[in-house]
Homo-oligomer: A and B are copies of this chain.
Amino acid sequence: MDYFKSYENLEVHRLMLADKSRMDAYQSFINENAALFSGKIVMDVGSGLGILSLFCAKAGAKKVYAVEGSEMAKMCETIIKDNNFSDTIQVIHKAVEDIQVSDIEKVDIIVSEWMGFYLLHESMLHSVLFARDTFLKDDGLIVPRIANIYLSPVELRDFKSKFDFWNNVYGFDFSSAGEAERNTTFGQAQIENIKAQDLLAEEQLVLSIDLKAATEEDLESIIGTFKFTFKKYGVIHGFALWFDCIFTDGENEETEVTLDTSPNSESTHWKQTIIPVPEAFLVEENGEVNCKLYLKRDGRSYRIELEHDLDS
Known A-B contacts A165-B18, A170-B27, A170-B55; the reply to A82 vs B7 at CB < 8 A is no
Of A1, A175, A184, most B-chain CB atoms within 10 Å = A184
Known: A51-B169, A51-B170, A165-B18. A1 touches B175 (CB 8 A): no
CB within 8 Å of B: which A71-89 residues = 75, 78-79, 82-83
A54's contact among B1, B11, B51, B172, by CB below 8 Å, is which? B172
| A7 close to B83 (CB less than 8 A) | no
A54 and B180 CA atoms in complex are apart in Å by 20
A7/B170 in contact, CB under 8 A = no
User: Are A49 and B14 interface neighbours, CB within 8 A?
Assistant: no
Measured CA separation A176–B17 after assembly (Å) = 15
Task: Count how many chain A residues have C-beta atoms less than 8 Å from C-beta atoms of the other chain.
Answer: 42
Is A102 engaged at the interface, CB distance under 8 Å to the other chain?
no
Other-chain contact of A14, B3, B17, B54, B181 (Cβ < 8 Å): B181
Q: Is the CB of A176 within 8 A of B82?
A: yes
**Distance (whole angstroms) from the CB of A311 to the closest CB of chain B:** 32
Question: Does A4 count as interface, using CB distance less than 8 angstroms?
Answer: yes
Instruction: State whether A177 and B51 are in contact (beta carbons under 8 Å apart), knowing that A165-B18, A170-B23 are contacts in the complex.
Output: no
Copies of the chain in the assembly: 2
Pairwise interchain contact A1-B173, C-beta atoms closer than 8 A? no
A10 pairs with B177, CB closer than 8 A: yes
Interface assignment of A174: CB less than 8 Å from any CB of chain B: yes
Which of A82, A174, A188 gathers most chain B CB within 10 Å?
A174
Which residue of chain B lies nearest to A6 when distances are taken between CB atoms in the complex? B184
Cα of A47 to Cα of B18 in the assembled complex, Å: 42
The B-contacting residues of A in range 156-182, CB under 8 angstroms, are 162, 165-166, 169-177, 179-181
Q: A7-B185, A170-B23, A185-B7 are in contact. Are A177 and B13 (CB under 8 A)?
A: yes
- Cβ of A83: which chain B residues have Cβ within 8 Å of it? 172-173
| B75 lies within 8 A of A180 (CB) | yes
Can you list 23 contacts pairing A with B, beta carbon distance less than 8 Å?
A1-B179, A3-B180, A7-B185, A10-B180, A11-B181, A13-B177, A14-B165, A14-B166, A14-B177, A17-B165, A27-B170, A54-B172, A58-B171, A75-B176, A75-B180, A79-B172, A79-B173, A79-B176, A79-B177, A82-B173, A82-B175, A82-B176, A83-B173
